[in-house]
Each structure stands twice: as C-alpha cells, then as structure tokens.
Amino acid sequence: MTPSADDLAKPWTFALPTTITFGDGVARNLAAIVAEFGCRPIWVTDRALSHLPVFTGLRELLPEAPVFAEVTPDPTVACVDRLAARIAEGRHDAVVAVGGGSAMDCAKAAAHLAAAGLPGIRPIHSGGVPVGRASLPLIAVPTTAGTGSEVTPIAVLNDEEKSLKGPIAGDALYPARAVVDPELTHALPLKVTTATGLDALAHAIEGYWSRNHQPLCDMLAIEAARLICANLPRVLRAPSDADARRAMSLAATTAGAAFQRPKTAMVHACSYPLSARYHLPHGAACAFTMEEAIRINAPAMGGRMDLFLRGAGLESIEALIEVIRDAKEFAGLPRTLRDAGIAPSDIPRLARESLHPILNNNPRPMTETDLAAMYARLA
C-alpha cells in the first residue's frame, strides 16, 4: 500500500516499546525471559485456563512463582485491585500474564496500580484520573490469536457496580515483553478461535478507518486483515493446521500494533454494553455488529476502503462481509438480537449505552438514532 499524499502530509507518531518474541516453542524460554526483568515474578491467568495443560505446562518453568488465577472474562475493577494488592504484598518485581485479553488487561492495570501505590483503579477507569508513568515489567503470553493486548497500552475493564465497561490507556500499560507462541493456540475451541480471530479483524479494520489513522498503522492493519481473511477460514476447518495457526497469531499481534495508536471505533463502542449487560464474550460482541458497521462506514471511506480491500486480497465490501458472516455461521456465534438473548424492547437502552467516547473515532458520525436503527436491523 502506498499512503496518499494527504496522509503523508499530516504529522503522526508511532511507538511500540514492547519487545516481541515470536515463534513456535518460544514460550519454553520463558524462565530466561522473565529473569531479565525480575527475580520475584507472579503468574496471572484466568480460572479456567489455570487448570489446563497450556498453563500448567508453562508453570513448570517457574514453579516457585505464585499464581493469581482469579481473573474472570471482562476483568473487573475489583479483580484489578485484588491483584495489585497481591503484587504489593508479595513484593513481586515482574508480572507474567498468560491467557487472552482478560488476563493481560487485568495484569496491565494491576502492574500499574501496584507500582504507583494507588488504592484502586476506579478513579482511572471512570473518575477522569489519567494513567501515570509507573509500572512493573509485564511479560504477556497470549494463548489466543485475537486481542493483540500483548502489544497495546490499553486495558478494558468492567465496573460491575457502575454497570460500566470501557478502556483505560496510557504508555505505562505497554507490556515490557510479548512472548507470542502459536503452539499455545492449537487447542483453542472452535468458538474461541472464531471470536478471537474476528476480534483481531475488528482491530485491523477499526485501526485503519479510525479518524486517528496514520500510514504505518494503516500498513499493519492491511497486512493483518490479509492474514486473517486468508487463514481464519482454514483454521476453522482444520484446527491442527500449524501454518494457519501461526499466521493467525502473527495477524493478532500485527492488528494490535495497528490499532494501539489510532484506537478503535464503532464496533468496540457497541461491544461494551453487549458484554457488560448481555454477557457476550468480547470477540463475539465485536463480531456481532461488524457487518453492519462495515456497510455504514465504507461509503465514508472513499478510495481508502478500496486500498484496504485490495491489500487484504478482497474484491469487494461484500467479500469482506462474507468472511465474517461465514465464520460466525460456522462457529454458531450470535448474529441477531434473538440469538444473543436480547429483546427488541431493549434496543433504545442498547443504543444509548453504545454511545461511548470512542465513537468519535468513527469515520461516519453516529447518533443514538443511527445506532437504534442498526440494532433494529439485527433483530
């Protein structure tokens, strides 16, 4: 892709302070990697993963390190506070997060909280307090190919008391190291593979069409989309296809790098109430509105959308939508409000709660009325 003259004329900033180690089997070097950052590490993972071989095998590499396994899907501010207290009490000097976005996001926020000596994360999450500079070194080990959280300065948290889900962001949240081992994704169930793969595609698309887009992130976004569109159908039908798994892991990390500066837009704004109120997993919540969001936003993109499609190896908007639709149908992800257990009478509230500030990044301005009309089409 060649950036336009207009894009090149605008100033932009790109940073990726996270060192990435990528490849089959690289997680087996985790003990040596962690030793570069500290001698009192703590493991962070979710409850389900803590009992599975993908984690228990890794734990043998650092058997003396304690495990915090209280992370739940859509990690809560309360969970972050508990983890931060555990880190401070144990005087841990490095945090090793293993899992999907939930484990990594919880660990990011807690590492910052513990290093800064703050009493809780809520003031940052919903009180307008900015993320500071302090953080403990975080080693992120993704076991899904989706969130890209291993290379972003973003943590998405859920405040159950306030019924509020949304991101916090700041450079202190960048992991110090990302250890991306595609072999850790080989045992993912079909629905998780699909939802996380579509989440990565959403990152690529939204990083590209964000109003804050810039040339380097654009190129990363297009390459991530190309990898996903070529390999997600393969890995869904042949889960043991190591080449496709490897390509999806690369795509997820690349998409994370693509959106970490421009940030996300409409798809993710809508995902927050779908997850917080209706308990759709994050990837499924993002996938839920993707086809509609593409139809809404593509006309506002002009020639830039044509460049994206060509770079991704697609002939049309409908070809991109077909990739998403086919994956959702194949894995049985919800495609309608009825599938998701959402009553049509909930549409006004759902539209209102989708009015998140990241909608300001959307290429087409969206009103509450526009969002309600979109959800009505999904009924």
| Residue spans per domain, the chain | 26-180, 188-377
Greatest pairwise CA separation for the chain in angstroms: 56
CATH topology (fold) of 26-180: Rossmann fold (3.40.50)
pTM: 0.96
pLDDT in tens, 241-286: 999 999 999 999 999 999 999 999 999 999 999 999 999 999 999 9
- Parallel, antiparallel, or unpaired for β 177-180 and 138-142? parallel
Mean residue pLDDT of the chain comes to 96
Residue pLDDT, tens place only, 32-77: 999 999 999 999 999 999 999 999 999 999 999 999 999 999 899 9
Cβ partners under 8 Å of residue 78, min gap 6: 160
Q: Note the pLDDT tens digit of each residue in 194-217.
A: 999 999 999 999 999 999 999 999
- Rg of the chain's alpha carbons, rounded to an integer? 20
* Element at 33 (helix H, strand E): helix 30-35
**CATH number for the segment(s) 188-377:** 1.20.1090.10
For residue 142, the SS3 value is: strand
Spell out the residues 6+ positions from residue 299 whose beta carbon is closer than 8 angstroms to its own.
364
